[in-house]
Chains A and B, each alone.
Chain A
Amino acid sequence: AQSVTQPDIHITVSEGASLELRCNYSYGATPYLFWYVQSPGQGLQLLLKYFSGDTLVQGIKGFEAEFKRSQSSFNLRKPSVHWSDAAEYFCAVGFQKLVFGTGTRLLVSP
């Protein structure tokens, strides 16, 4: 069955520190991969996506993600977190229909 695992429900990071959010997936073939961010009460905003090619992809707001086929992972990273990055982050995989992880809530401490 197709599934996406985001093992961390909550993560707290100090402002200015680095961030890594984990995402592992199970899929029949190598799917397209996405990270979305959601602020409270709002829709999802696309951060970045991987379709093919370079396995390190750059997104908006200084985020990047690396696709590792051998580990079936697509972890999201940011070198220096800002207070405005506090939100919920969703990893999603698929082609036309997406499978979403349950999300990781990022808290940023001063």
Chain B
Amino acid sequence: SQTIHQWPATLVQPVGSPLSLECTVEGTSNPNLYWYRQAAGRGLQLLFYSVGIGQISSEVPQNLSASRPQDRQFILSSKKLLLSDSGFYLCAWSARSRGGETQYFGPGTRLLVL
């Protein structure tokens, strides 16, 4: 069966520090991968998605970037964190299908920028 991991689970970082959040998927190959941010009362906002190694699409302009160095690894980064980057970050994967794709989510990383 497929599983998705995210780490760390919780992170407290000072403003201006760098960030690296990691997401890995097991039990599947060539998944589509997604990064979302969840803010209180605002649902989930899609930040990045990837259909393959090195292929990243950005959905909103922001202080963050994403990379996919391996097929089942997706990394969310920042060079300098802002207070507004605080939130709950969720990674998701889907199997490519013509008949409809379902996204499955990881446990999330709670980021607090102070």
User: Which residues of A approach B to under 8 Å, CB–CB?
Assistant: 4, 9, 32, 34, 36, 41-46, 49, 51-52, 90, 92, 95-98, 100-103
Please tell me if the beta carbons of A34 and B108 are within 8 angstroms of each other in the complex.
no
By a CB distance below 8 angstroms, the chain B residues around A34 are 102-103
5 contacts between A and B (CB under 8 A): A41-B110, A43-B107, A44-B90, A44-B105, A96-B49
* Given A46-B104, A96-B32, 16 additional A-B pairs, CB 8 A: A41-B108, A42-B108, A43-B108, A44-B105, A46-B102, A49-B102, A51-B99, A51-B100, A90-B43, A90-B44, A95-B100, A97-B46, A97-B59, A98-B44, A100-B44, A103-B41
User: Which residues of B approach A to under 8 Å, CB–CB?
Assistant: 6, 32, 41-46, 49, 59, 90, 92, 94, 99-108, 110
